A and B are shown apart, each in its own frame.
Chain A
């Protein structure tokens, strides 16, 4: 980080926060604070939806994944547009007409208080446990690359987020998301332009794409079906659409974005905008990673991208042999890559591609030996340096000012992901818990104050959680995994609510409980990939709910709810 980088980083962060404070200055009622008074246009909601989903780690690790393993990760987003269309046709009009602040509030209107309470508690546990992660993950990477203390980084980003979310509520969150998304797009395009310009003059863009493809980095579509691999066309379409349905349809951190729309049509358009923009954006990020790979065909990469791991093993006696093997493989690979570029006829091109692939295998072999040395020294398995590839490239080769911009992009992504989570956790705390069960009759001013306090609480909680992230490493991963267990049953209960009017509250509540138990049993006793937990959970909830609707019929007057739009076929 040079002086110009610091200027770019500080100016960007200060501008984001100042803009958030400016846009949030009019939040004087609960409706304005939590729903922006239903005034948002489609593009603000659409960009906010994208910014909330894109966290810093999406950005850091997606490029690294493409470097290491190619572009096949894009396939997991193929189901997202399908889910957006389904939600635009169902959830958007239903939630809007029911006039709710949270998705779970609707469950009480449609079912009963216990179903709403269970769903909102599930959300608070799942999101609440993971809320510090969006701050902690980038801080950890920064601490390794720059030596910045991670506790200071999480405190800084966290305080900035708390500043504008507490004062401005959702108008501040949404409009800062828009700016953050703009910075992210700009940083992405600039990184791609710069990496392509830094390739040797003899290598054209088409050559670069060809070289990346020759070693399987451009495997964007795999049409072979495999249950246990989520990165193929069919798993992506089916598993990906179920995951997107539960994330965008049942998770308040996303639902709240499109509840702020000034009309049903604007909210629908915001989801459809996400449907159109998301897949190309992921493709673009992965393509940047693949081009960083091509860059390192001509500039020697470190054996391992994780600087601490390199320091650890470079002192070992066996490492010098590994480094020599790596260097000679790199030289062979570079020679082959150049020869491919100069090859005149297809036959000699094929010959050089063969040499290129062989050298790549040699290089991978040397890297595996280095990883084995590190894992032996550390005494634990599972080394992965994907998160360090892109930032190592950025900090080593990109010009002054650009490094500061890329770091600002990563901070912006961390802020937009955590601001949406903090804001939605506060909303559910006040609307579904406090106002429903603690103080039922108070003034609007009282609930506005409660919303600000709840936002401050969740923001501080996120910072505190991130402060201890270092000691909670594997716990955090476990929490995230268990959190994904809950998604299926939430999706099931909302499907019952939208589509099956014979199902009442008691049947839905027990359907949810049985669905949750089924997921835990599947996780404990079978080898089914966790991608499918969501689908299994949802199906069990729906089947159980329908079976129980005989002994526990729906006693609510559905016609009244239909007039509010509480059912799809009203």
Chain B
């Protein structure tokens, strides 16, 4: 099976970086949520 490029962003590395950036953003939002309410 050929390793085809992802349907967006052009390279898998960029897609992986996007997912990890998303995780960091989610954790940051939760952290602010915790600081503000808990």
**Residues of chain A whose beta carbon lies under 8 Å from any beta carbon of chain B:** 70, 74, 78, 81-82, 84-85, 88-89, 93, 96-97, 209-210, 212-213, 216-223, 233, 263-265, 268-269, 272, 275-276, 279-280, 283
Contact = CB atoms under 8 A, between A and B. Distances in A.
Contact of B31 (A81, A88, A221, A279): A221
A275 B30 contact: no
Contacts of B7: 265, 269
Contact of B23 (A209, A220, A279): A279
Contacts of B15: 272
Given A85-B20, A268-B6, A221 B12 contact: no
B6 A81 contact: no
A320 B19 CA distance: 55
B1 A220 contact: no
Contacts of B16: 85, 88-89, 272
B18 to A, nearest CB: 9
A84 B4 contact: no
Interface string B26-38: 1100110110111
Nearest to B15: A272
Contacts of A280: 26
Given A233-B27, A283-B30, A209 B37 contact: yes
A264 B34 contact: no
Given A89-B16, A220-B33, A220-B34, A269 B6 contact: yes
Contacts of A89: 12, 16
A265 B37 contact: no
Given A97-B1, A268-B12, A74 B6 contact: no
A263 B1 contact: yes
Contact of A275 (B1, B23, B33): B23
Given A89-B12, A272-B19, A221 B3 contact: no
A78 B23 contact: yes
B7 to A, nearest CB: 7
Q: Which are the 5 A-B pairs with shortest beta-carbon distances? A: A213-B37, A221-B31, A81-B23, A218-B38, A220-B30
B37 A279 contact: no
A275 B6 contact: no
A67 B23 CA distance: 25
Contacts of A283: 30
B1 A221 contact: no
Contacts of B5: 265
A406 to B, nearest CB: 26
21 contacts: A78-B23, A84-B19, A210-B37, A212-B37, A217-B38, A218-B37, A220-B33, A220-B38, A233-B27, A263-B4, A264-B2, A265-B3, A265-B5, A265-B6, A268-B6, A272-B16, A272-B19, A275-B23, A276-B22, A279-B23, A279-B26
Contacts of B22: 81, 276
A246 B3 CA distance: 24
Nearest to A88: B16
B3 A219 contact: no
A263 B20 CA distance: 23
Nearest to A275: B19
A218 B34 contact: yes
Contacts of A81: 19-20, 22-23
